[in-house]
Amino acid sequence: MQYVGQHMELVTRGAGFIGSHLVDALVASGKSVRVLDNFSSGRMEFLSHHDGSGMVEVVKADLLDPEAVRQALVDVDVVHHMAANPDIRLGTTVTDTDLKQGTVATYNVLEAMRLEDVGQISFSSSSAVYGEADVMPTPETYGPIKPISLYGASKLASEALITAWCGTFGAKSWVHRFANIVGPRGTHGVIYDFIHKLKADQGRLEVLGNGRQEKSYMSAHDCVQAMVHLVDNTSADVNLYNLGTGDTCSVRRIAEIVVEESGLEGVSIEYTGGDRGWAGDVPKTSLNVESLFATGFRPDMMSEQAIRHTASALISEIGL
């Protein structure tokens, strides 16, 4: 992969799970893409199908290195900022990861944009910003929002930095509040964890909590299609949307689907109990996606279908 010329789009954590799907979508729409990734969880193999295409350039650098970020922004028109600590649960034991890899990294991206005169940013926020909302499905207009995880806090902090940059320095932004995104190349999350548990013990699947946690899921493919759709079709200074399917799925149902897709017989699904998986886990999330749908976007898969598709793909990737 090599330098491909001017007017490209940058994807931070472009070798990661959702980032690499976004690279696929951007290349499919004819865009030249630069990937910035520190490869802490990103993998070069997620991009290897673009080798030789001349459309994708890869820069290995860390967002906590301001000078490297600035260099990566040369000739860039739009930054798709996907980088973050992917492990939401980590915040319960290590408290500075989300601050650094979330909030400070976003600051570094924005400051580099200001210095290099890059005026557009599309950001992967999260339904985690809503914490335990009283209103479900939760619309973008819900407030006050009170994230309960350190991950959610870093996403809200990043959103705030972005809107402040727009208000103070004239940048234009898209803020995408993601449902739980699932799909091939996933490197974390409940489906990934269940498969690894089954790999270790094919007779038993332990589920954290009582299994009644219920959340919105969206396939990575639909997620990046929605991102590209919104960037192409909305034009406010700050374009903030929930990204999801409009329905939900319980953890209990996910466990059943993963077992079904595994082909294993006689698996005992066991619950540790309690209404959440861990402190900071939100037991129920349901995103109101009327605003997204009003822009003309529709997902290809609903929550259960996305989960089944993902379970099948990850079982192939991970092996059982």
- Among the residue ranges 17-25, 87-95, 206-214, 218-226, the one whose residues contact a copy of itself (CB under 8 A): 87-95
- The verdict on 153 binding a copy of itself (CB under 8 A) reads yes
What residue has token string 């598709």? 309
- The verdict on 124 binding a copy of itself (CB under 8 A) reads no
- The verdict on 113 binding a copy of itself (CB under 8 A) reads no
How far separated are the first and last CA of the chain, in Å rounded?
33
- The verdict on 144 binding a copy of itself (CB under 8 A) reads yes
In the chain, which ranges are E strands? 8-12, 33-37, 56-60, 76-81, 120-126, 172-178, 180-182, 204-207, 214-215, 217-219, 238-243, 249-250, 268-271
- Among the residue ranges 36-44, 162-170, 202-210, 266-274, the one whose residues contact a copy of itself (CB under 8 A): 162-170
Closest C-alpha among 239, 317, 242, 254 to residue 287:
242
Closest C-alpha among 82, 91, 77, 99 to residue 31:
77
- The verdict on 315 binding a copy of itself (CB under 8 A) reads no
Please give the biggest Cα pair distance in the chain. Answer: 60
Q: Is 189 left (phi over 0), alpha (psi -120 to 50) or beta?
A: left
Options 44, 61, 99, 136; binder of a copy of itself; rule CB under 8 A: 99
- The verdict on 15 binding a copy of itself (CB under 8 A) reads no
- The verdict on 105 binding a copy of itself (CB under 8 A) reads no
Q: Shortest Cβ distance from residue 112 to a copy of itself (Å)? A: 11
- The verdict on 141 binding a copy of itself (CB under 8 A) reads yes
* Binding footprint of a copy of itself, residue count (CB under 8 A): 44
Options 95, 233, 272, 316; binder of a copy of itself; rule CB under 8 A: 95
* Apex 274 CA angle, 269 and 276, nearest 5: 90
- What Rg do the C-alpha atoms of the chain give, in angstroms? 19
Burial of 273 (C-beta count, 10 Å sphere; 0-12/13-18/19+): exposed
Options 8, 69, 104, 218; binder of a copy of itself; rule CB under 8 A: 104
Residues engaged in binding a copy of itself (CB under 8 A): 91-92, 95-96, 99, 103-104, 107, 110-111, 114, 129, 131-132, 140-150, 152-154, 156-157, 159-161, 163-164, 166-170, 238, 240, 279-280
